[in-house]
């Protein structure tokens, strides 16, 4: 208790606020941010009546979590990082940094295809093809909505594969060959596709419900598939990426025909792919499609490694392959 009271005094002096305990949890409340004790129930109730700890650092509230957000004073010494762009203007994104951005390689071959020959490959191919039919029926030609919804699924396999390789590395006391990072990077890249497309298409309530259900099913299905056969799991993703390339090509056709308005590119896309300031949605679809082609290569390559009787760690991972 003495220690705790001592800490409390220090926290108060550091933060200029009524912070009660070093062992705190952060919860949002009534539009502000409140520090809540997790030590004891009695104390917890008491703490609830205490303070709101927010320093208003000014600026607009940025919906993307950008630099306009209010900064929370931290007993832990964690300060908001002031990041600047190359031109010296403030970096507005908290979710990624300038050094994580890149220029997509648009010269990548979009037509490459792995011809399924083995039974496992045919299973992967026809699984993906059979998923295409209900997807086409559901979305018709609403490619903006389709892209946004499918990216919620596309970001799952990299995370599952990366997670399973992470645990395997721990279990077996062995390196991963860089594949954990490669797969987690893929998941993050797909999530950035989602963050981009939700700027131009807002999900309706039943679409949100669908994503909720599909995520539950697909996560578990892919998790089990990866445990049973990483060879199959990566091949499935390779074919999913081939379908994604096709979808984005159709998206581009609709943009060129004018049936989908070629609106200005979202700011997040301009910064993430280092696009010119006057870029449009068409430019964004082009770089996203190039990303999908890279994912296709990585996943077919991963499956091929397994086909050759090796484990992923035996072949250096294509780190930073964009």
- Tokens encoding 244: 């994604």
Q: What is the DSSP letter of 86?
A: T
Binding residues for Fe ion, rule CB under 5 A, total 7
- Please give the distance of CA 204 from its chain centroid, rounded to a whole number: 21
Measured distance CA(293)–CA(290) in Å, rounded = 5
**Which listed residue (11, 148, 154, 293) binds Fe ion by CB under 5 A?**
154
Contacting range for Fe ion; rule: CB under 5 A; set: 47-55, 224-232, 272-280, 288-296:
288-296
47 vs 292 by CB, closer to Fe ion: 292
SS3 content of the chain, % helix, strand, coil (to 5): 55, 5, 40
In whole angstroms, the minimum distance from the beta carbon of 244 to Fe ion comes to 5
**Which listed residue (146, 289, 295, 300) binds Fe ion by CB under 5 A?**
295
Query: Using the rule CB under 5 A, is 292 a contact of Fe ion?
Result: yes
Contacting range for Fe ion; rule: CB under 5 A; set: 4-12, 100-108, 130-138, 185-193:
185-193
In whole angstroms, the minimum distance from the beta carbon of 158 to Fe ion comes to 8
- Please give the distance of CA 162 from its chain centroid, rounded to a whole number: 13
The 31-70 contact track toward Fe ion, x by CB under 5 A, reads ----------------------------------------
Q: How many other CB atoms are found less than 10 A from the CB of residue 187?
A: 19
Query: Using the rule CB under 5 A, is 190 a contact of Fe ion?
Result: yes
Three-state secondary-structure class, residue 118: coil
283 vs 292 by CB, closer to Fe ion: 292
**Which listed residue (146, 191, 193, 289) binds Fe ion by CB under 5 A?**
193
- Please give the distance of CA 265 from its chain centroid, rounded to a whole number: 19
Considering all CA atoms of the chain, what is the largest pairwise distance in Å, rounded to the nearest integer?
A: 72
Backbone angles phi, psi at 286, to 5 degrees: -60, -45
Report the site for Fe ion in 213-242 (rule: CB under 5 A).
241
Positions that interact with Fe ion (CB under 5 A): 151, 154, 190, 193, 241, 292, 295
């Amino acid at each position: 208790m003495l220690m705790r009271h001592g800490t409390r005094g220090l926290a108060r002096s550091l933060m200029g606020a009524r912070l009660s305990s070093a062992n705190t949890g952060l919860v949002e409340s009534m539009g502000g941010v409140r520090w809540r004790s997790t030590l004891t129930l009695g104390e917890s109730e008491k703490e609830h009546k205490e303070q709101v700890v927010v320093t208003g650092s000014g600026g607009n509230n940025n919906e993307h979590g950008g630099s306009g957000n209010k900064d929370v004073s931290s007993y832990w010494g964690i300060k908001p990082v002031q990041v600047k762009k190359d031109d010296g203007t403030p970096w507005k994104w908290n979710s990624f940094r300038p050094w994580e951005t890149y220029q997509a390689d648009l010269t990548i071959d979009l037509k490459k295809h792995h011809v399924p020959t083995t039974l496992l490959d045919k299973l992967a191919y026809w699984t993906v093809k059979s998923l295409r039919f209900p997807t086409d029926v559901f979305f018709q030609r609403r490619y903006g909505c389709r892209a946004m919804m499918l990216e919620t699924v596309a970001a799952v396999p990299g995370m599952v594969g990366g997670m399973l390789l992470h645990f395997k590395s721990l279990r077996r006391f062995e390196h991963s060959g860089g594949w954990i990072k490669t797969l987690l990077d893929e998941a993050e890249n797909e999530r950035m596709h989602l963050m981009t497309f939700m700027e131009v298409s807002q999900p309706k309530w039943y679409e949100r419900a669908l994503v909720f259900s599909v995520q539950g099913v697909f996560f578990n299905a892919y998790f089990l598939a990866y445990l049973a056969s990483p060879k199959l799991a990566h091949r499935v993703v390779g074919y999913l990426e081939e379908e994604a390339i096709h979808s984005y090509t159709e998206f581009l056709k609709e943009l060129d025909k004018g049936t989908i308005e070629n609106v200005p590119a979202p700011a997040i896309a301009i910064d993430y792919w280092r696009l010119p300031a006057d870029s449009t949605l068409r430019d964004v679809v082009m770089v996203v499609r190039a990303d999908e082609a890279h994912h296709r290569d990585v996943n077919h390559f991963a499956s091929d490694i397994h086909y050759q009787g090796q484990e992923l760690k035996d072949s250096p991972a294509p780190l930073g392959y964009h």
